[in-house]
Chain A
């Protein structure tokens, strides 16, 4: 049996705020102050990261629930993305455990099966859309709302909008 099939990764649960929507899962990492959006495939894999479900079983689950081909490479792609987003518990899925996969090969495979590329596991980083519309600097008022963290403060030359590492509050400093 492929060793990868016996992997039983576990999801991280500490300091996370999770909101389930019908087709995606939103996660806010309180430790790193980062927000993520998991599409349905990534959500399902993450939900089954309970330390007891093997990757082979996850592949079977994706086939049942989403009609995806039973392919552990899809699970591997999801796990790799979860690991990069720091959403897996430490020690349960290390870089050396990665199942080999080629994203390009997966896309080709899923396209052939009938346009299932949209079901490829995706994890998107979320940023406040107000922040995305900010230009090259922010005012005090914007910084206070954590809009434009890292950008120079137009009201205070020489200072930048910084986020307090513990409270998450923002100020020009």
Chain B
């Protein structure tokens, strides 16, 4: 009974987070009908979800701006606004460095998402994700070597297998050169950007609310000639995932779908999906922000907690084993994903414990990478590698 009550509390908090962020990206945003007590209770969750600044944007012209929980949101807005300025400098310096070595990078996530918001400080990001063609990867590493002070930490992606496109050429053909501090920064075309954000969200179990906001913003920023056929082109399974993410943005955050191909092909979401997502948003702990598994193994008391946190959420499990979003119970998917992750971890554990890995470890190209080339090496190369092997 206590566990059930606790679970209900977590889900309620997650729904409050959703309410706080619904339509928050608009200018002006809709008024928010939450109490100061509600704001105070969910402020830590909003901060953890990377959506503190966005929440401040929503309440800044209302009476809630004086609520007890509002001060950290305002400070986050200030801090993230400053960080946006710093990161933009890093991006242009990284792009310039790469181009001096003949590498033409594609910027993913981060600023590519932030630029669609009313102010770019509303969407915080830390690392810079740059995709390069696989044959240019080594040149890219050489270009960025020893330049972390100028470029910040760069996540280099070898190709884009996570996008499930047969050819990187078409992705580049459809890309845009967006001006940033006098430098043309190449970003994904609208369709590929939206596709990437949807797949990224689901691969990581939709645990960060800001990612769903990114999808909502991109959806509502789509140009009139948006190519819905290209967005959904490919295997039906992946198209289903993308539609699911779009409908989730509509159902949870009020993103407008009317008149889009997504609205026409959307069915109702499976009944387990929204509760699964809001439970992520309402949880006070998440394994991505906790001690690594390798670190937990050194302390027996931490192992049980680490295992509990790492039980795959149903969204992540569905995508991880290549399933579909249906009413079928998720336990078999979660068990399958758990077994696959355990097998992967067991093969990696000795190396991780030796290296005292700084990041979580997963499988395939969609996994955050290990300590190879990370600043932890002490030489401040500041690059991390996303390998080019295709996901299942």
Contact = CB atoms under 8 A, between A and B. Distances in A.
Given A128-B79, A156-B295, A144 B358 contact: yes
Contacts of A127: 75, 79
B72 A129 contact: yes
A141 B290 contact: yes
A129 B75 contact: yes
Given A21-B81, A139-B290, A141-B292, A172 B152 contact: no
A30 B86 contact: yes
B324 interface: no
A122 to B, nearest CB: 13
A111 interface: no
A130 B73 CA distance: 10
Contacts of A93: none
A106 interface: no
Interface in B41-70: 44, 47-48, 52
Interface in B358-389: 358-360, 375-376, 378, 380, 382
Contacts of B44: 133
B118 to A, nearest CB: 13
The residue in A21, A30, A144 that gathers the most chain B C-beta atoms within 10 A of its C-beta is A144
B200 interface: no
Given A19-B82, A26-B81, A167-B380, A130 B47 contact: yes
Nearest to A24: B78
Do most interface residues of chain A lie in helix, strand or loop, or is the interface mixed? Answer: mixed
Contacts of A142: 289
B89 interface: yes
A172 B291 CA distance: 12
A35 B291 contact: no
Nearest to A26: B82
Interface string B343-371: 00000000000001011100000000000
22 contacts: A19-B82, A19-B85, A24-B78, A28-B83, A35-B79, A35-B82, A126-B75, A126-B79, A127-B75, A128-B76, A129-B47, A129-B52, A129-B79, A130-B47, A130-B48, A132-B75, A139-B295, A140-B292, A145-B126, A156-B295, A167-B148, A173-B378
Interface of A: 17-19, 21, 24, 26-28, 30, 35, 37, 126-130, 132-133, 139-142, 144-145, 154-156, 164, 166-169, 171-173
